[in-house]
Structure 1
Amino acid sequence: MLKKLMISGAVSALLTSAAYAQDVTLRLAHFAAESHPGHIAAESFAEAVEERTGGAIAVELYPANQLGSPPEQLEQTILGAIEMNLPTQGGLDKYEKAFGTVMTPFAFNSYEHAHEVLDGPFTDWAGPKLEEQGLVLLSNWEYGFRNITNSKHPINSPEDVDGLKLRTPPELQIVAALEGLGASTTQIAFPELPNALSQGVVDGQENPIGVIYHYKLNDFQEHLAITRHVYNSMVHVINKDVFDSLTEEQQTILREESKRAGNMMREAVIAQEADEIAKLEAAGMQVTRPDLTAFSALMGPARERVAEYSGQENMDTFLSFLD
């Protein structure tokens, strides 16, 4: 595990400065496009923090992977070279396995269900575990339920997924879900995905509706199936040493404004999904809404893989939060 002993010299100098808590710039790096609700929420967070601290804390934003790939950004936040980040649970579980349980296939039946679990018992349980890795969880934001696109044919049943070659991020939960439906999977970095789709390296991919829409993946994919097979969200985290160096009032402001911005993003993502699907359809994409009962019924082996990865004790605890 990466430890806080490796904090960069620049951050270490800040931490030893008595003025740090009174005048500081915090960098917030993330992977969302500038038009995505995630970045719009980040802008709102930055503006509110600067206003409420009277300019003592400035937040600089680096969207769309400007400071490296998502894994690189998260690692640099743990090291202290970047102060804040918005990874998903799929990034965080590389450091704390409890976060891997969130992406259990078909765990949540609605956005409201996911928010209730994550904001309540899950954060109370997993937040302290994350601090042991050098990160403070400020609040849960949004990303969304993930759905499958492809260039071959409509998906109306699990049999229609069988045999498709689909790109996934390097997250076992997503791989397990799609392979449980009979797809073959390959991991391709997101910036390389448009080329892979246009050249037929893969038949399709899976992502939340907002990503499919904002990155115009419909330019390369004809079919979208609303499968909602995995849920995950952005999680607003800050380097623990940086957070601990702030005044109690500043810490409270960061937590409150992170929560407000996260709720803003949630509302935007949920409100925009139907409109974005309609726009994708208007642009020529064929959308199917299969009955998900048959899909979920095939997830036994996938859930076993997630439990093995995350730890059975962690999985048992997570499942206890779902009822």
Structure 2
Amino acid sequence: MLRTLMTAAVAAVLSSGVAWGQDVTLRLAHFAAETHPGHLAAKAFADAVKERTGGKIAVELFPANQLGSPPEQLEQTVLGAVEMNLPTQGGLDKYSKAFGTVMTPFAFESYEHAHAVLDGPFMEWAAPKLEEHGLVMLSNWEYGFRNITNSKHPINKPGDVSGLKLRTPPELQIVAALEGLGASTTQIAFPELPNALNQGVVDGQENPIGVIYHFKLNDFQEHLALTRHVYNSMVHVINKDVFDGLTAEQQTILREESQKAGNMMRAAVIAQEEEELAKLEQAGMKITRPDLKPFAALMGPARERVAEYSGADNMTMFLSFLK
């Protein structure tokens, strides 16, 4: 239904017979900070597309939620007002529940495991479902395994999470994982998070290492536990009507350069994590690396909640990809 609500600008171009394959500017909005590997990868993508198309396609970047919150940006891409976006699976599952399975707590053993599943059988299965909602999936990028910070005490075992009041994004999967460990959760918009941490509105939060580091959340949090409870990544998507209006050659260029940029981001995120952890530790943050098996053992109810949300059939299919 949303695809029928195409913006007047996109509709005018398509109905006029003017091919998108001529000179065009594609806007790419995302939530990463300008220093984050996600934005650096987006810049590399933009530069490569401009070069390979001889300047016929320019990519204009809008990082750090400049065009609205992540859900608002994604909706604009569905409608065609912003041509490209880099949501996580937690944003995409509002359109296709298949994407909700990716953030199942403790689903992936490693980055390599996650990449093999998402680039292989998962993408083949899920990408066509997304096109039904007006989005073409170009490639998987990175974000990372999520970890808990707090201002109260170190986390070495699941019981240390119990009783903490933690901020989460609105994704049910993350809420279910933390509540499964005994925490209470509250949803606070990310731009408001530093102030909420500073004022003690919540005891802590959870995010990938890169986010904790680049947004300097250690200024408000003393303890970081590498719980790796949920994995998710940025997913590069483009409005389907816009993509269909490009030439076949230009479509290929976008797909190839998107994959290259995603691989660049993956390598950067993984390479930087230990360096960022060392810098956080040098800045005074206390880091623990708990045994994750006891945490994963408590995730039965959380996984049931994710399966109910994503659909039992979707969950069965996703779990078959993990083997």
**Shorter-normalised TM range:** over 0.9
Give unmatched runs, 5+ long, in structure 1: none
- After superposition, residues 62-77 of structure 1 pair within 5 angstroms as 62-77=62-77
Alignment partner of 1:297 is 2:287: no
Q: Secondary structure at the match of 1:22?
A: coil
Moved more, 111-120 or 11-20: 11-20
Offset, 1:198: 0.3
Instruction: Specify the code of the residue in structure 2 equivalent to 1:155.
Output: I
Contact 2:41 2:265 (C-alpha < 8 Å) held by counterparts: yes
The equivalent of 1:15 in structure 2 is: 14
CA distance in 2, matches of 1:304, 1:8: 39
RMSD: 0.6
Alignment partner of 1:266 is 2:263: no
Instruction: Specify the code of the residue in structure 2 equivalent to 1:172.
Output: L
CA distance in 1, matches of 2:71, 2:171: 11
Offset, 1:4: 1.1
The equivalent of 2:47 in structure 1 is: 47
The equivalent of 1:213 in structure 2 is: 213
Offset, 1:21: 1.2
Q: Secondary structure at the match of 1:51?
A: helix
Query: Alpha-carbon deviations, 1:212-244, whole Å to 9, x = none?
Result: 000000000000000000000000000000000
The equivalent of 1:91 in structure 2 is: 91
Instruction: Specify the code of the residue in structure 2 equivalent to 1:24.
Output: V
CA distance in 1, matches of 2:20, 2:313: 41
Offset, 1:18: 2.1
The equivalent of 1:195 in structure 2 is: 195
TM value normalised by structure 2: 0.99
Offset, 1:11: 1.3
CA distance in 2, matches of 1:222, 1:96: 38
Instruction: Specify the code of the residue in structure 2 equivalent to 1:35.
Output: T
Give unmatched runs, 5+ long, in structure 2: none
Q: Secondary structure at the match of 2:72?
A: helix
The equivalent of 1:6 in structure 2 is: 5
CA distance in 1, matches of 2:207, 2:295: 17
Instruction: Specify the code of the residue in structure 2 equivalent to 1:113.
Output: H
- Matched residues, percent identical? 82
Query: Alpha-carbon deviations, 1:96-154, whole Å to 9, x = none?
Result: 00000000000000000000000000000000000000000000000000000000000
CA distance in 1, matches of 2:164, 2:10: 47
Instruction: Specify the code of the residue in structure 1 equivalent to 2:84.
Output: M
Q: Secondary structure at the match of 2:221?
A: coil
Query: Alpha-carbon deviations, 1:18-37, whole Å to 9, x = none?
Result: 24211110000000000000
The equivalent of 1:311 in structure 2 is: 311
Instruction: Specify the code of the residue in structure 2 equivalent to 1:268.
Output: A
The equivalent of 2:175 in structure 1 is: 175
Contact 2:89 2:100 (C-alpha < 8 Å) held by counterparts: yes
CA distance in 2, matches of 1:106, 1:48: 35
Alignment partner of 1:230 is 2:236: no
CA distance in 2, matches of 1:149, 1:67: 28
In the TM superposition, structure 1's runs of 4+ consecutive aligned residues that sit over 4 Å from their partners are: none
- Total equivalences in the alignment: 322
CA distance in 2, matches of 1:188, 1:131: 30
- After superposition, residues 127-146 of structure 1 pair within 5 angstroms as 127-146=127-146
Contact 2:19 2:245 (C-alpha < 8 Å) held by counterparts: no
